[in-house]
């Protein structure tokens, strides 16, 4: 029996059958139940997705999902997404994950890997006892973090480049975002962009932003030779002053970091440089919008959605453990027009 024949028997379209087989939230519980009944009656040879659908229909109500995805955190605090001041991007990521999981019939349950009151062996046992096969990860403060052996039997999808273990992951599309920003700067007449990067964040984006900036400097900005200004948590005012005096950028690009914005703002005020009249200012890879700043913002919400979609998809394919070949999905950022660049 084909899906077309199944659709005819159910009195729905083939497209609807396709959505039913994906357990799509748009399809009513009644339609899903009718299709599941026909599958059983006509001995339709089903794949894992249909089996999962039938188990869901038999066991659970449509509006109260009990299938569960775990959410693991390597951060020092138990619920880092509640630290709105320190980690506002994690709050947005967490919300989007929970929302998307609910749309697909799952709830999300958090587990703190750093919990001093629980051993990793105990954590692994709890996950197994609750029938949790898939884990979402928020990434980690330490780029070289590893998934402990006690959790390696679970399917994991993580965020960003942190966690050195070979995992499926969702990344910001740094090539696209940097290209979009630098191309826009050139189109608006800027010829001497200067880039400020935080040393730690440069590692978190795999040095791609730095590489793209150097490429554009050579080939799009006529062999421009302004070195990248690397900084720590704050941009040193003296170093920034020397860099600006020597290279005279006509627009400053900074990788999203709230303290860097404050440092640059202080410097421009001291130099009596008006933005955008005297110099342009653009942000790259912003995770939390700062009012009025033009640039490219990470699509945090879509990254959360993509992580859930990837995890559910791999679970439906009966995948477990550390993958032999990791799937990496890049999410393009969004252009936000502010007031800190010349108009179009």
**Segment 147-173, tens digit of pLDDT:** 999 999 999 999 999 999 999 999 999
Residues 76 and 42 both lie in one domain: no
In sequence order, the 6+-apart residues with CB closer than 8 A to the CB of 25 are 103, 104, 105
| Local structure of 168: helix, strand or coil | strand
Tell me which of 59, 78, 102 is where a domain ends: 59
Residue-range definition of the domain harbouring residue 323: 67-172+301-331
pLDDT bin (cut points 50, 70, 90) of residue 215 is very high
pLDDT at 53 over 70: no
Q: What mean pLDDT do residues 289-294 have?
A: 81
CATH code of the domain covering residue 323: 3.40.50.2300
168, 200: one domain: no
- Domain membership of residue 277 (yes or no) is yes
- State the average pLDDT over residues 67-92: 91
Domain membership of residue 273 (yes or no) is: yes
What whole-number distance in Å separates Cα of residue 19 and Cα of residue 231?
Answer: 50
- Residue 45 predicted with pLDDT over 80: no
Q: Is the pLDDT of residue 61 over 80?
A: no
Residue-level pLDDT at 233:
87
What does the block give as tokens for 272?
């009596």
Pair 190, 210 in one domain: yes
Edge-to-edge strands of the sheet including 168-172? 106-112, 67-73, 134-137, 155-159, 168-172, 328-331
Same domain, 53 and 159: no
Residue 43 lies in a domain: yes
Mean pLDDT computed over 194-198: 96
Strand duo 334-336 + 294-297: pairing: antiparallel
114 and 47 part of one domain: no
pLDDT at 46 over 80: no
pLDDT of residue 299: 95
Residue 344 within any structural domain of the chain: no
Does residue 204 share a domain with residue 164? no
Q: What percent of the chain has pLDDT over 70?
A: 91
Domains identified in the chain, total number: 3
Tell whether 85 is covered by a domain.
yes
pLDDT at 282: 96
Domain identity same for 292 and 178 = yes
- Is residue 74 included in any domain, yes or no? yes
Q: Read off the CATH number of the domain in which 27 is found.
A: 1.10.260
- Answer yes or no: is pLDDT of 249 > 80: yes
pLDDT of res. 66: 62
Asked whether the predicted pLDDT for residue 231 surpasses 60, the reply is yes
* Same domain assignment for residues 108 and 147: yes
- Residues 275 and 340 sit within 8 Å (Cβ to Cβ): yes
114-137: pLDDT as tens digits = 999 999 999 999 999 999 999 999
Confidence class of residue 196 from pLDDT cuts 50, 70 and 90? very high
Of 59, 90, 106, the domain-final residue: 59
Using the 3D structure, point to which of 59, 82, 102 is the last residue of a domain: 59
Angle at 278 between CA 276 and CA 283, to 5 degrees: 45
Q: Determine if the pTM surpasses 0.85.
A: no
The DSSP output letter for 149 is: G
pLDDT average, residue stretch 75-81: 94
Q: How confident is the model at residue 6 (pLDDT cuts 50, 70, 90)?
A: confident
Rounded Cα–Cα distance for residues 335 and 286 (Å):
10
CB-neighbour burial class of residue 230 (10 A; exposed 0-12, middle 13-18, buried 19+) = middle
As a whole number, the mean pLDDT across the chain is: 90
State how far the Cα of 80 lies from the Cα of 262, in Å rounded to an integer.
24
Q: Is residue 337 part of a domain?
A: no
Which one has a higher pLDDT value, 214 or 141? Answer: 214
Distance spanning both ends of the chain, measured CA to CA: 57
Same domain, 148 and 186: no
Is 178 in the same domain as 292? yes
Please give the residue that has the higher pLDDT: either 41 or 189: 189
Do residues 80 and 217 both lie within one domain? Answer: no
Residues 136 and 284 in one domain: no
The answer to the question of residue 45 being in a domain is yes
């Amino acid at each position: 029996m084909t899906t077309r024949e199944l659709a005819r028997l159910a009195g729905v379209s083939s497209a609807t059958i396709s959505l039913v087989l994906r357990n799509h939230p748009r399809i009513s519980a009644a339609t899903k139940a009718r299709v599941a009944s026909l599958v059983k009656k006509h001995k339709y040879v089903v794949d894992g997705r249909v089996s999962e659908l039938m188990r869901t229909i038999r066991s659970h109500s449509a509006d109260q999902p009990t299938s569960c995805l775990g959410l693991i955190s390597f951060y020092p605090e138990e619920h880092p997404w509640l630290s709105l001041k320190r980690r506002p991007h994690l709050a947005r990521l967490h919300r989007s994950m929970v929302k998307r999981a609910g749309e697909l019939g799952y709830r999300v349950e958090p587990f703190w890997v750093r919990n001093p009151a629980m051993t990793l062996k105990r954590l692994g046992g709890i996950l197994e006892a609750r029938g949790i096969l898939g884990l979402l990860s928020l990434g980690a403060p330490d780029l070289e973090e590893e998934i402990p052996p006690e959790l390696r039997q679970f399917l994991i999808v993580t965020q960003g480049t942190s966690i050195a273990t070979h995992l499926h992951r969702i990344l910001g599309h740094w090539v696209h975002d940097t290209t979009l920003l630098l191309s826009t700067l050139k189109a608006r007449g800027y010829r001497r962009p200067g880039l400020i990067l935080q040393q730690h964040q440069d590692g978190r984006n795999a040095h791609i932003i730095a590489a793209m900036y150097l490429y554009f400097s050579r080939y799009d900005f006529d062999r421009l030779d302004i070195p990248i200004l690397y900084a720590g948590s704050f941009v040193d005012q003296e170093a920034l002053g020397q860099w600006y005096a020597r290279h005279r950028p006509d627009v400053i690009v900074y990788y999203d970091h709230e303290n860097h914005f404050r440092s640059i703002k202080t410097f421009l005020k001291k130099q009596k440089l008006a933005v955008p009249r005297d110099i342009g200012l653009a942000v790259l890879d912003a995770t939390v919008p700062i009012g009025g700043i033009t640039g490219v913002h990470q699509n945090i919400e879509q990254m959360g959605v993509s992580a859930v979609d990837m995890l559910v998809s791999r679970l439906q394919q009966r995948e477990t453990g550390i993958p032999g070949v990791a799937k990496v999905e890049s999410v393009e950022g969004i252009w936000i027009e502010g007031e800190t660049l010349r108009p179009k």
